[in-house]
């Protein structure tokens, strides 16, 4: 499988503790900016009931699904116990000089 790195915006376009969504090859992806400025990307769909993760609350490096409060680690995609599951994560790079955000999918 070939991985593609693409420019998807600027870090200034994502609020701290906020998100931005985009579609790539029919896949809905959520970009999250943590309070420390780190940008992470996951599939925008909770493994439980398909909740829209970009609408959830970011707390530390986790997002809380807005449907049933499942907590998902944005670094690993793993659901926090006692719940189980995982969402796909994607590599993100931020050019520190320009703020450009690149997603590899």
Using one digit for the tens of pLDDT, what is the confidence trace for 41-80? 999 999 999 999 999 999 999 999 999 999 999 999 999 9
3-class secondary structure, 48: coil
Across-strand partners of 10? 100
Q: What's the pLDDT tens digit per position in 69-91?
A: 999 999 999 999 999 999 999 99
What domains are there in the chain, each with its CATH number? 5-104 (2.102.10.10)
Global pTM value: 0.94
Across-strand partners of 72? 63, 79
SS3 content of the chain, % helix, strand, coil (to 5): 5, 45, 50
pLDDT score recorded for residue 1: 65
């Amino acid at each position: 499988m070939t991985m593609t790195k693409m420019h998807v915006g600027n870090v200034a376009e994502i609020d701290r503790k906020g998100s931005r969504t985009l579609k790539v090859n029919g896949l809905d992806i959520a970009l999250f900016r943590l309070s420390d400025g780190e940008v992470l990307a996951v599939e925008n769909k909770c493994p439980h009931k398909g909740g829209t993760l970009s609408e959830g609350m970011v707390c530390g490096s986790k997002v809380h699904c807005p449907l049933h409060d499942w907590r998902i680690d944005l670094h690993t995609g793993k659901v926090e116990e006692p719940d189980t599951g995982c969402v796909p994560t994607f590599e993100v790079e931020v050019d520190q000089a320009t703020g450009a955000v690149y997603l590899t999918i």
